[in-house]
């Protein structure tokens, strides 16, 4: 390595200039990103699907497992997010996808008729429907 003080100074200046350019480029992207995001947040609350499941949490708390029946594709991000956030909110209760073998079952169907048909078929009682159109039904233990 060249120890000539002038070379050392040039190198230091070059490195610092590159760092400042990098900081400037990052600021160029950061400020608009924060502005847009903060404006969006100011316009409306953060959308967290977990909150749609809060009101049934107390009713379900004695169960370790409950069913989550759906005709939607849980690999799609939107439906996956609803399922995963429901799981987050209801933890430590475990949601078992497409299982009817539990006391309580969520029915996340595209139409209420389809969900109610299955609920009637397994002789369950629908209790609550949340704003995401997901019905919570209870199955009496002696029916299975």
Partner 1 sequence: MVLLKTITPFLLSFMIGLGLLNLIFQKRPQISFLTAFCLGGGLGLGISSYLTFLSYLFIWQLNKNLVIILHMTFLGAILAALIYRCRKLRIPFWTLAPITKDDVIGLTLLLIMSGTVLLNIHIHPYGGWDAWSVWNFKAKFLFEAGVYWENIFHPTLWRSSPHYPLLLPLINVWGWIFHHSPTHTTTQITTVIFNLITIGLIFSALKDLTRSYWSSLVVFLFFLQPYFLTLSSAQYADIVLSFYLFAGMLCFILNIRHHNPRYLLLTGAFLGFLSFVKPEGYVATGILLIIIPGILWKTIQKFDRPKCLRFFFGSLFLFSIIPFVFKYFYAPDNITMTNGLTSQTNPSTWPRLQTILSFYFHEIFKVGKQGWNGLWIVIIFGLLLSGKKIFRSETLVIPLFLLSYIGIVTMYYYVNTHFKIEWWLSVSFNRIELSLLPIITFWCFYSFWRERME
CB of residue 15 vs partner 1: minimum separation in angstroms?
6
Structure tokens at 33: 């990103």
Assess 144 for contact with partner 1 (CB under 8 A): no
Q: Among residues 37 and 120, whose Cβ is nearest to partner 1?
A: 37
Q: Where are the beta strands (DSSP E) in 11-134?
A: 65-70, 94-97, 104-108, 124-129
| Residue placing its CB nearer to partner 1 in the complex, 33 or 123 | 33
In angstroms, rounded to a whole number, what is the distance separating the alpha carbons of residues 68 and 96? 6
Q: Residues 94, 117, 132, 140: which binds partner 1 (CB under 8 A)?
A: 94
- 85 contacts partner 1 (rule: CB under 8 A): yes
Per the CB < 8 A criterion, the answer to whether 67 and 138 are in contact is no
């Amino acid at each position: 390595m060249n120890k000539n003080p002038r070379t050392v100074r040039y190198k230091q200046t070059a490195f610092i200039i590159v760092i400042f350019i990098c900081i400037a480029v990052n600021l160029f992207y950061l400020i608009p990103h924060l502005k847009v995001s903060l404006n969006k947040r100011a316009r409306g609350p953060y959308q967290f699907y977990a909150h749609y499941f809060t009101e049934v949490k107390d009713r379900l708390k004695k169960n370790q497992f409950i069913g989550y029946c759906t005709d939607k594709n849980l690999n799609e991000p939107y439906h996956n997010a609803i399922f995963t956030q429901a799981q987050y909110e209801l933890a430590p209760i475990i949601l078992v996808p497409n299982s009817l073998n539990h006391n309580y079952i969520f029915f996340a169907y595209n139409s209420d008729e389809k969900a109610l048909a299955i609920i009637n078929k397994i002789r369950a009682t629908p209790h609550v429907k949340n704003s995401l159109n997901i019905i919570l039904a209870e199955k009496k233990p002696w029916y299975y």
